[in-house]
Chains A and B, each alone.
Chain A
Amino acid sequence: MNGGFRTCPTTSLKVHRQADNLIKANAVVAVVALLVGGIAAILVLLTRWQVVHLLDATQFYRWLTIHGMNMLIFFIIFFEMAILYFAGPVLLNCRVPAPKIGWAAFLLMVVGTLMVEWTMFAGKADVLFTSYVPLKAHPAFYLGIILFAVGALIVCGIFFATLVVAKREKTYEGSMPLVAYGGLTAAIIAVITLVHGAAIYIPTFLWSIGIGNVDPQVYRMVWWGLGHSSQQINVAAMVAVWYLLGALTVGAVVINEKISRTAFVLYILFISMASAHHLLVDPGMGSAWKIVNTSYFMYMAVLASMIHGFTVPAGIEVGQRIRGFNKGMFEWLRRAPWGDPGFSSLVFSVIIFGFIGGITGVTFGTEQINIIAHNTLRIPGHFHATVVAGTAMAFMGVTYYVIPLIFRKKVAFWGLAKIQPYLFAIGMVLFSVTMTFAGSFGVPRRHWDITFTGAPFDVAFSPAVNLVIGVMAIGGLLAALGGAIFILCTVWSVFLGEKMDEGGPEYV
């Protein structure tokens, strides 16, 4: 009943029933969180666009909190749990070890999520995503995050156990595939991240019920060990998905295992300390501390991304050439499957992550440049290019393959799905670039009213600010349209879509 394998007709991988079901459950919750976070995104955007200025101040900060938590925590991490069940059991032809614990972890994460959602929607946690102490939320907010994190940690444990079981039961020959290796990188970084999370959220939870105290500067330091490292889980998972999408869409090859795997190891070694770049203009740390952590340690992680930024496109080119697209310099690119949303998402994800997200991130992570960027709109401009146009876009792209391969359903509204990555990419480029520009004019992030109505002194931003914010709004709405199409296609396919095999897949 609960066991059995089916053989995937497309990839001939052996897929365990429990892997199928756990991937489905986690992916569905991820898309629900994306929907909630997406609605919040539109409300926040229409408020920051001063022409509309939709919400009042209380509602604005509430929806901004909802946006941050749903997108950066719930959507992304549930999706990454699905990726771990794919990169482990599916790619290694292995059963899910301890599926019951997997379901318990899933339940724990859902309960944690619901607790956090409740506190946010009830107005008991208007503390934004970072919840900087001494801003105080309802204890259920912190407890919900702790439960969620414990659940995620258990899933990482199941992933590690899968590697052991697969090796022992000899379910594959040779070394683990690169995509599974990338998944392992993400899982290791996830453990580092969640340990930081426990180190900060447990004392903060105790403080919220009146036990002990938390120093605001120590909070910022340890919290960013969670807040930034969790973005590194995203990066590692995203790069794994790049290799996966390359393989699925055009048969991209791994041009050199040594180089790609070493680059993944660089992420593990250097990324945690890099979270210090959030504290470059903080009073609590000295220059030596800031320089060592952000300079040396961060750039070695940057190196890893630069390597993947070469090997992924190179793998696509070699894969295409093997398939016979050998004419001239660029036939491989011209004849690539641009109408496949998996492929176009992959290309946009690589380009926008690297050229907009990467360049802004590396420059703002410099001690001196950070002085003119910290807490302005430049910062969200940067991370929307990395985490939305990079990670979320890659995850959306791979979903177009998860639907047929795992859910065994045809993707509905294929015509819309084909243009979805283009809409989303154009929208996100406009959005993140103009947001960055607005920040360079000094426009603050996380701010309800940049006309400062009622403030004791007037602030007159350059008239150009109105223009860039206007373009930002248009870009944001385009991206939201792309996101809405994605949700329509996936939800429709999963619940109302046409089945790939009548009577469902057979598990034997």
Chain B
Amino acid sequence: MHTGVEPPKGVWWKPAHKSEKVWVWVAFVWCMILFAMMPLWHWKGGQNPSGIRARVEPAAFQARTMEFIEQYQVGVDNGIPVVEPPPGSDIYMYGRMWAWEPVLKLKTNTEYVLHLSSLDLNHGFNLYPLNINFQIVPGYDYGLRITTSEAGDYRVICNEFCGVGHHLMVGRVIVEDGPEPFAGDDDPNVFKVKPIAANAGGDR
């Protein structure tokens, strides 16, 4: 027997002790289970970060969002336009230094395609209190198919550093009662805003 600082002499490619072999197999099988979990969850689960992805010029995304605001604006909240889009539509929100615009007013149990992008730096989209997070990268349109499942007054917190006013960057999403819940949807690409956040602590 030698230590890790002594050069082993002769052939060191020797069979391992039984306990070590057992451990390597346990660890390997465990890693394979983890390996299988991610794709399985992706195909069978209801919450995935995959969406419709496209490159977009920040100016073009801003113009599209402005058009969207003009079309469906119902009010103003703290200087930020409030928009109530029809069910099933494409909805837009951009992050910029240091605001999320517009405020979205949605209905429960309704599907939308939520487009997120940034006009300047990287921003972090955190839907509070559900604690659901996406990286918002300038130049990329992150289109997420969402189903609103719970009414509530949500916040969008920026959680990627974006300069000295980073902490001011709070947006708002309001979800009001809509149609009755519909039967389960097996499309794995549907991002359901489910109350998994019950364990995320908030009691809003």
Contacts and interface: CB of A to CB of B under 8 A. Distances in A.
A366 B42 CA distance: 10
B159 interface: yes
Interface in B139-177: 139-142, 155, 157-172
Contacts of B169: 455
B73 interface: no
A371 interface: yes
A132 B122 contact: yes
Contacts of B117: 283
Nearest to B32: A299
B160 A375 contact: yes
Interface string B55-89: 00000000000000000000001111000000000
Contacts of A366: 34, 37-38, 41
Nearest to A312: B4
B49 interface: yes
Interface stretch (B105-113, B125-133, B179-187): B125-133
A172 B7 contact: yes
Contact of A442 (B120, B129, B142, B172): B129
B204 A452 contact: no
A326 to B, nearest CB: 15
Nearest to A437: B201
Contacts of B136: 283
A287 B99 CA distance: 29
Contacts of B137: 216-217, 220, 282-284
Contacts of B50: 286-287
A100 to B, nearest CB: 28
A453 B166 CA distance: 11
Contacts of B28: 303
Contacts of B126: 375-376, 442, 444
Nearest to A261: B12
Given A132-B122, A256-B16, A372-B196, A322 B159 contact: no
Which of B31, B126, B196 has the most CB atoms of chain A within a 10 A radius of its CB?
A: B31
B45 interface: yes
Given A299-B35, A449-B167, A281 B135 contact: yes
Interface in A300-315: 300, 302-303, 306-307, 310-311, 314-315
A215 B163 CA distance: 19
Interface string A372-411: 1111100000000000000000000000000000000000
B20 A374 contact: no
Contact of B167 (A290, A314, A318, A455): A455
Contacts, number: 285
A283 B141 contact: yes
Interface stretch (A184-192, A225-233, A245-253, A489-497): A245-253
A417 B166 CA distance: 41
Interface residues of B, number: 89
A58 interface: yes
B170 A61 contact: no
B17 to A, nearest CB: 6
A253 B1 contact: yes
A334 interface: no
Contacts of B42: 287, 291, 367-368
B89 to A, nearest CB: 20
B160 to A, nearest CB: 6
Contacts of B79: 456
A370 interface: yes
Interface stretch (A104-112, A143-151, A420-428, A457-465): A457-465
Interface stretch (A76-84, A173-181, A196-204): A173-181
Contacts of B116: 283
B168 A291 contact: no
Contact of B4 (A179, A280, A282, A291): A179
A444 to B, nearest CB: 3
A254 B6 CA distance: 10
Contacts of B138: 134, 216
A247 B166 CA distance: 49
Contacts of B8: 174-175, 177-178, 254, 257
A134 B139 CA distance: 11
A61 B161 contact: yes
Contact of B7 (A128, A134, A175, A448): A175
A441 B31 contact: no
A66 to B, nearest CB: 14
B97 to A, nearest CB: 11
Interface string B85-97: 0000000000000
A295 interface: yes
Contact of B1 (A295, A299, A318, A459): A318
Contact of B27 (A254, A280, A306, A445): A306
Contact of A286 (B7, B27, B53, B124): B53
A294 interface: yes
B104 to A, nearest CB: 13
Given A375-B126, A442-B126, A450-B167, 12 more contacts: A177-B7, A216-B137, A257-B14, A287-B50, A375-B159, A441-B201, A442-B128, A446-B161, A448-B167, A456-B170, A459-B155, A461-B201
Interface of B: 1-10, 12-14, 16-17, 19-20, 23-24, 27-28, 30-32, 34-35, 37-39, 41-42, 45, 47-51, 53, 77-80, 99, 116-117, 120-122, 124, 126, 128-129, 131-142, 155, 157-172, 196-197, 199-204
25 contacts: A132-B160, A134-B121, A135-B122, A175-B9, A217-B139, A220-B137, A253-B2, A279-B135, A283-B135, A283-B140, A283-B141, A299-B32, A299-B35, A302-B34, A303-B27, A314-B19, A366-B37, A374-B134, A375-B160, A447-B167, A449-B167, A455-B167, A456-B168, A457-B78, A462-B201
Name the 4 nearest CB pairs between A and B, nearest first.
A243-B4, A444-B159, A247-B3, A174-B9
